[in-house]
C-alpha cells in the first residue's frame, strides 16, 4: 500500500462517509494497516435512540509506551453538490490543491499520520523501534461530526476492557488558523446548553392586571445573567461566556399576554467551572433578581462536552519542536474553538491536537494544499521518531 499522503487522502475522500455512514473509509484503512502489520479491530456500537456507528482500533507492538494517533473518518454532508467546483467525493487535484469533503476535516490528517507511521515502520524493520520496544496505535471513529455517542467514548471503553493503555495521543483535527504550524490545541472549553423559562399568567392585553406577563421577567433575568462576567480567564483559557441564542413565547396572537416565555442559551466555559457549578451560579444570579416577583425554572440539556487541558510539558514541547523544524513557526498553545473527541481521550492519556489548516472545513469546495499534506506528514514522522528515541 502507498505511504503517499496525497494518495491516501484522495482514496479516503472517495469514500462517501457522511455521518454516521462508514462509506468504505474504515475498510480502506483496515486494508492499509493490516498490510503494514497492524492488528486491526473493527466494531459497531449501539445505543437506543442513536444510529449505529462503525469504529476502528489498530495497534502494532506489544509494549509501552503506546503512542496513539486519533481521528474520525466521518464528514459533514456536502450540501448542494452542484455548487462545488469539483465533486465533493472526487478527490480531484487542481493547481496544487486536493478537493473534497474531509480534505481538511479530517481525512487529510488521518492520511498524513498513516503515511508517517508507515514510513517510520519501514525504516525500523516494521517495528516502532528497531529493538522491538513500544507500540503505535490508531483510534478512528465514525461519528465525531454527529452526536458522539457510539464513536470515541464507546471505542475507548472497549479498549479499556481489552487492557489497552495509552501513553500519549496526537489528534489530527485541523488545529491551525492561518498557516500550517501556527497552533497546537492543548485543551478545549466545556459547552453547556440550557433554557431559561419564566412562568406567567395568560390574559387579555386590555386587562393586564388580570395577567402576569412573563416577557418582562424574562428580559430582566437575561440582563442579570449577562451583567457580570463569569470569570476573567486564565493563562490557558479565554474568559467563559454565556450567549442567548433564541427567545420564544410561541404567541401568534397580538392581543394575548402569553403564559410562558423561554430563552435558550449556550455557555462555553473554562476550567474555573464545572457544569454543576455553572448551574448553581446561574440559579443564584437569577434568584437575586427574581425574588418572589418572577417565577422561573432552568431546563438543562445533557452534555458530554467538559472542559480539559493538557498541561504544557515535555510532550507538547516535543510536538512544538517538530513543527518548528519543518515550518520554522513556533506554534501557539491554544484552547479556543469548539469541542472535539479530545475531551474523551484526555481521561485516558495526555492529548494534543495538531492537524491541517481549518480555513475551508465544512465549506463548499473544502480543499487542502498538497504542500501542507506533505509537510504535515514530515512533522508526524519527526514526532514518531523522537517519541521512540
* Catalytic residue IDs: 74, 144
> What's the grid cell of residue 244?
442567548
Query: Is the alpha carbon torsion for 229, 232, 233, 238 positive or negative?
Result: positive
Rounded-to-integer distance, Cα 220 and Cα 289, Å: 8
C-alpha cell at 318: 516535543
Alpha carbon distance 31, 29 (integer Å): 5
First and final C-alpha spacing in the chain: 26
Rounded distance between C-alpha atoms, residue 345 and residue 189, angstroms: 15
Eight-state DSSP code of residue 63 = S
Phi, psi values for residue 163, rounded to 5°: 80, 15
Alpha-carbon dihedral sign for residues 346, 350, 354, 359:
positive
Q: Report whether 335 contacts 155 (CB < 8 A).
A: no
Diameter of the chain measured on Cα atoms: 87
The phi, psi pair for 353, rounded to 5°, reads -110, 125
User: How far is it, in rounded angstroms, from Cα 113 to Cα 380?
Assistant: 6
49's grid cell: 435512540
Output the CA–CA distances (angstroms, integers) from residue 28 to 121, 166, 209, in the order listed.
Answer: 19, 24, 69
Give the separation between CA 45 and CA 149, rounded to whole angstroms: 9
Cell of 10: 484522495
Q: How far apart are CA 112 and CA 5, in angstroms?
A: 5
Give the C-alpha separation, 224 to 377, whole Å: 50
**Is 136 in contact with 69 (CB distance < 8 Å)?**
yes
Q: 260 and 249 in contact (C-beta within 8 Å)?
A: yes
Amino acid at each position: 500500500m502507498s505511504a503517499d499522503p496525497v494518495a491516501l487522502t484522495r482514496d479516503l475522500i472517495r469514500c462517501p462517509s457522511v455521518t454516521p455512514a462508514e462509506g468504505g473509509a474504515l475498510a480502506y484503512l483496515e486494508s492499509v494497516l493490516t498490510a503494514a502489520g497492524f492488528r486491526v479491530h473493527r466494531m459497531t456500537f449501539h445505543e437506543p435512540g442513536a444510529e449505529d456507528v462503525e469504529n476502528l482500533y489498530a495497534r502494532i507492538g506489544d509494549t509501552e509506551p503506546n503512542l496513539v494517533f486519533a481521528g474520525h473518518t466521518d464528514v459533514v454532508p456536502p450540501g448542494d453538490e452542484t455548487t462545488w467546483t469539483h465533486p465533493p467525493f472526487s478527490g480531484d487535484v487542481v493547481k496544487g490543491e486536493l478537493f473534497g469533503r474531509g480534505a481538511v476535516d479530517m481525512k487529510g490528517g488521518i492520511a498524513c499520520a498513516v503515511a508517517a507511521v508507515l514510513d517510520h515502520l519501514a525504516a525500523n524493520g516494521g517495528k516502532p523501534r528497531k529493538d522491538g520496544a513500544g507500540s503505535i496505535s490508531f483510534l478512528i471513529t465514525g461519528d465525531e461530526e454527529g452526536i458522539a455517542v457510539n464513536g470515541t467514548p464507546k471505542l475507548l471503553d472497549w479498549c479499556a476492557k481489552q487492557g489497552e493503555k495509552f501513553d500519549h495521543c496526537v489528534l489530527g483535527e485541523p488545529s491551525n488558523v492561518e498557516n500550517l504550524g501556527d497552533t497546537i490545541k492543548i485543551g478545549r472549553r466545556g459547552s453547556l446548553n440550557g433554557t431559561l423559562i419564566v412562568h406567567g399568567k395568560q390574559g387579555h392585553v386590555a386587562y393586564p392586571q388580570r395577567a402576569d406577563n412573563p416577557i418582562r421577567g424574562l428580559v430582566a433575568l437575561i440582563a442579570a445573567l449577562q451583567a457580570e462576567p463569569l470569570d476573567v480567564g486564565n493563562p490557558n483559557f479565554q474568559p467563559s461566556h454565556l450567549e442567548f441564542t433564541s427567545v420564544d413565547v410561541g404567541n401568534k396572537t397580538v392581543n394575548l399576554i402569553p403564559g410562558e416565555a423561554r430563552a435558550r442559551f449556550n455557555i462555553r466555559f473554562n476550567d474555573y467551572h464545572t457544569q454543576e457549578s455553572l448551574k448553581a451560579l446561574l440559579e443564584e444570579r437569577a434568584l437575586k433578581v427574581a425574588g418572589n416577583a418572577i417565577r422561573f425554572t432552568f431546563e438543562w440539556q445533557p452534555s458530554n462536552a467538559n472542559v480539559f487541558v493538557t498541561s504544557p510539558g515535555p510532550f507538547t514541547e516535543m510536538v512544538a519542536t517538530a513543527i518548528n523544524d519543518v515550518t520554522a513557526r513556533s506554534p501557539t498553545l491554544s484552547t479556543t474553538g469548539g469541542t472535539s473527541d479530545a475531551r474523551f481521550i484526555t481521561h485516558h492519556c495526555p492529548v494534543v491536537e495538531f492537524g491541517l489548516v481549518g480555513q475551508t472545513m465544512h465549506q463548499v469546495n473544502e480543499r487542502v494544499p498538497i504542500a501542507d499534506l506533505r509537510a504535515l506528514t514530515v512533522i508526524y514522522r519527526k514526532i514518531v521518531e523522537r517519541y521512540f528515541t
